[in-house]
């Protein structure tokens, strides 16, 4: 790369930073070498996809086009239309992406297969998948990844995350397919949780039950303190009072649930069942909760789709293919040096399950248009 080219790049960046941000299309100047595109047409394909993105305007700049008069004309024209210009340099290879996923049977294997399908659809590079058992050899995995020139790993499930955490620090890690993780497993990377974003849960609740003013949730802090922190902010935004009660095991959780239903007000209260092994289970907690909620007409919503089949009002659950696409996007960003979010992030790639019988019992009418917006309806129709 010549000094003149570096100066031109700097000019674009400085002008991009100095232009005032305005509403309208995002204008991106993409600089690439035509020689890199001669055989595969890869860059042209990528640029074509970018140009089809709503709200984005692409300004193509090949290296031979970067003469000062042409560059000035392009930037001036963009400035007159309003809005900033952002710089994207296309070139080089990020190498293949590796996916570490649990060596596990059905039905969970199909879940991870769908996530990997989404990764492969969006990765724009080779994807190598490795099934990881409980007794994995971290050194052997690291050696194979180096042999394939892998720099970024997508870790799925607990086994995948454990294996990725044991790898040498040279590998970047993006994780998904887990609800929560111990702090020691985060490794300063991004973890896309399977726990639905409370903001989406509460927005759906208010759409179905506008009268609800208070939501009660029982949680175990080591598993879900991070999620409850987000939930408090989301509840405030929806005008909901969130009563989050801590419990350490199922026995103490049952006492809290019993006390809640003893004084619950169907005109204002609802109960949220999170994904929490210490406070929610299918054999003790769920039967009690569903029986009491039915007799007292208290809406119960869940982060577990199977609860809707048994009588919960609704649940949000993962869109696994879309989750895979977002994992791939995060991995590509990490591989290219772009800043990525850190820590555990809630699931926003969700589908909705809805129980029409429960809604009718609660007096919550749902229109045909609303029902068409649900992905699963129970009882099955």
Q: What confidence tier does 204 reach under pLDDT thresholds 50, 70, 90?
A: very high
The DSSP letter of residue 3 is H
H-run or E-run covering 242? strand 241-246
Q: Do 183 and 235 reside in the same domain of the chain?
A: no
Residue 341: pLDDT above 90? no
Average pLDDT score over residue span 185-209: 89
**Distance between CA 305 and CA 316 in Å, rounded?**
7
The residue from 55, 89, 123 where one domain ends is: 89
- For the four alpha carbons of 76, 82, 86 and 91, in that order, the dihedral sign comes to negative
Determine the structural domain holding residue 18 and report its residue range: 3-89
3-state secondary structure of 173: strand
Domains: count for the chain:
3
**Distance between CA 301 and CA 346 in Å, rounded?**
17
Residue 358: pLDDT above 90? yes
**Distance between CA 63 and CA 32 in Å, rounded?**
6
Is residue 16 within 8 A of residue 26, CB to CB? The reply is: no
Q: Do 202 and 164 reside in the same domain of the chain?
A: no
Q: 37-51, 102-116, 176-190 — which is least confidently predicted?
A: 37-51
Is residue 248 within 8 A of residue 276, CB to CB? The reply is: no
**314-318 vs 350-355, strand pairing mode:** antiparallel
- For the four alpha carbons of 297, 301, 304 and 306, in that order, the dihedral sign comes to positive
- The per-residue pLDDT for range 47-78, each reduced to its tens digit, is 666 666 666 677 776 655 555 455 555 555 55
Q: Do 220 and 360 reside in the same domain of the chain?
A: yes
What is residue 85's predicted lDDT score, i.e. its pLDDT? 46
Average pLDDT score over residue span 273-300: 97
Q: Do 228 and 344 reside in the same domain of the chain?
A: no
Q: Which two tokens stand for residue 199?
A: 């903001």
The residue from 49, 66, 89 where one domain ends is: 89
Residues with Cβ < 8 Å from 343, sequence gap 6 or more?
A: 186, 190, 191, 226
3-state secondary structure of 338: coil
What are the start-end ranges of the H helices in the chain? Answer: 3-18, 42-51, 68-81, 108-122, 138-147, 157-165, 198-208, 221-237, 250-263, 285-296, 306-310, 320-335, 356-361, 368-372
- The per-residue pLDDT for range 289-316, each reduced to its tens digit, is 999 999 999 999 999 999 999 999 999 9
Q: Do 54 and 189 reside in the same domain of the chain?
A: no
Average pLDDT score over residue span 4-24: 44
- For the four alpha carbons of 137, 143, 147 and 149, in that order, the dihedral sign comes to positive
CATH number of the domain encompassing residue 307: 3.40.50.2300
Is residue 278 within 8 A of residue 269, CB to CB? The reply is: no
Q: Which residue has the higher pLDDT, 288 or 94?
A: 288
**Distance between CA 29 and CA 124 in Å, rounded?**
21
Backbone angles phi, psi at 337, to 5 degrees: 90, 5
Q: What confidence tier does 188 reach under pLDDT thresholds 50, 70, 90?
A: low
| Top-ranked range on mean pLDDT: pick from 78-82, 161-165, 180-184, 335-339 | 161-165
Q: Do 173 and 260 reside in the same domain of the chain?
A: no
Residues with Cβ < 8 Å from 245, sequence gap 6 or more?
A: 216, 217, 218, 219, 256
Residue 131 falls in which region: left (phi positive, over 0), alpha (psi -120 to 50) or beta:
beta
Q: 17-21, 172-176, 210-214, 265-269 — which is least confidently predicted?
A: 17-21
What is residue 142's predicted lDDT score, i.e. its pLDDT? 95
Q: Do 273 and 306 reside in the same domain of the chain?
A: yes
Average pLDDT score over residue span 86-108: 77
Q: What confidence tier does 106 reach under pLDDT thresholds 50, 70, 90?
A: very high
Average pLDDT score over residue span 122-139: 93
Residue 251: pLDDT above 70? yes
Q: Do 277 and 191 reside in the same domain of the chain?
A: no
Q: Do 261 and 361 reside in the same domain of the chain?
A: yes
What is residue 24's predicted lDDT score, i.e. its pLDDT? 55
Q: What confidence tier does 197 reach under pLDDT thresholds 50, 70, 90?
A: very high
- The pTM of this model reads 0.75
Q: Do 211 and 139 reside in the same domain of the chain?
A: no
Q: Do 242 and 372 reside in the same domain of the chain?
A: yes
Q: Do 231 and 361 reside in the same domain of the chain?
A: yes
Backbone angles phi, psi at 275, to 5 degrees: -85, 100
Q: Which two tokens stand for residue 197?
A: 């974003």
The residue from 66, 89, 112 where one domain ends is: 89
- The per-residue pLDDT for range 343-352, each reduced to its tens digit, is 899 999 999 9
Average pLDDT score over residue span 253-281: 97
What is residue 181's predicted lDDT score, i.e. its pLDDT? 76
Q: Which two tokens stand for residue 304?
A: 């577990």
């Amino acid at each position: 790369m010549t000094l003149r080219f570096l100066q031109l790049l700097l000019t674009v960046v400085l002008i991009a930073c100095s232009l005032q941000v305005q509403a309208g299309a995002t204008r991106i100047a993409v600089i690439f070498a035509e020689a890199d595109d001669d055989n595969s047409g890869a860059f042209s394909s990528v640029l074509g996809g970018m140009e089809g993105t709503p709200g984005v305007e692409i300004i193509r700049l090949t290296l031979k086009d970067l003469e000062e008069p042409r560059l000035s004309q392009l930037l001036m024209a963009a400035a007159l239309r309003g809005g900033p210009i952002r710089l994207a340099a296309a070139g080089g290879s990020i190498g293949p992406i590796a996916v570490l996923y649990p060596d596990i049977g059905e039905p969970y294997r199909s879940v991870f297969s769908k996530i990997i399908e989404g990764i492969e659809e969006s990765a724009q590079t080779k994807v190598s998948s490795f099934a990881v058992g409980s007794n994995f050899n971290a050194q052997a995995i690291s050696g194979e990844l180096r042999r394939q020139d892998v720099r970024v790993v997508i870790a799925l499930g607990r086994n995948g995350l454990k294996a990725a955490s044991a790898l040498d620090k040279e590998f970047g890690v993006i994780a998904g397919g887990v609800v929560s993780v111990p702090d020691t497993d985060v490794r300063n990377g991004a973890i896309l949780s399977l726990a639905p974003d409370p903001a989406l849960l509460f927005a759906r609740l208010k759409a179905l039950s506008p009268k609800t003013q208070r939501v009660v949730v029982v949680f175990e802090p080591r598993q879900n303190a991070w999620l409850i922190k987000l939930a408090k902010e989301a509840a405030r935004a929806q005008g909901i009072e969130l009563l989050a009660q801590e419990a350490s095991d199922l026995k103490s959780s049952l006492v809290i649930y019993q006390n809640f239903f003893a004084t619950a007000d169907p005109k204002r209260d609802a109960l949220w069942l999170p994904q929490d092994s210490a406070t929610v289970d299918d054999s003790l907690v769920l039967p009690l909760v569903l029986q009491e909620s039915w007799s007292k007409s208290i809406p119960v919503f869940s982060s577990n789709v199977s609860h809707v089949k048994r009588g919960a009002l609704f649940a949000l659950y993962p869109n696994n293919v879309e989750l895979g696409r977002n994992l791939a996007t995060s991995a590509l960003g990490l591989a290219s040096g772009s800043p990525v979010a850190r820590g555990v992030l809630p699931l926003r790639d969700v589908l909705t399950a809805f129980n029409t019988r429960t809604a009718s019992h609660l007096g919550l009418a749902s229109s045909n248009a609303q029902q068409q917006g649900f992905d699963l309806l129970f009882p099955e129709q």
